Amino acid sequence: MALPFGSAPPKNPVFGHASSAPDNPGIVKKIIATTLITVFAFFIVKSVIESGIMTLN
């Protein structure tokens, strides 16, 4: 879900490159954002399971 954010095709595409390929994909930002979202979701699920609201039996 993080891949489309901040991606824009180049204004002057180079011959031989896909015209829809992003000019600057910003992979590092997307990796950091995805990791933070996953860590947040993990701790919510972990807290719910440890509190006894939901069990894995």
Question: Which is more confident, 4 or 30?
Answer: 30
Question: Tokens 């204004």 — which residue?
Answer: 11
- 29-54 per-position pLDDT tens digit: 889 999 999 999 999 999 998 998 87
Number of other CB atoms surrounding residue 34 within 10 Å = 13
Question: Which is more confident, 57 or 26?
Answer: 26
Q: Say how far apart CA 26 and CA 3 lie, in whole Å.
A: 9
Q: Which of 2-6, 13-17, 27-31, 38-42 has the lowest mean pLDDT?
A: 2-6
The encoded tokens of residue 56 equal 């894995």
Mean predicted lDDT score pLDDT of the chain: 85
pLDDT score recorded for residue 9: 80
Where do the domains of the chain lie? 1-57
Q: Say how far apart CA 6 and CA 4 lie, in whole Å.
A: 6
Instruction: Specify the amino acid at residue 38.
Output: T
Q: Say how far apart CA 28 and CA 50 lie, in whole Å.
A: 33
Please indicate, yes or no, whether the overall pTM of this predicted structure exceeds 0.85. no
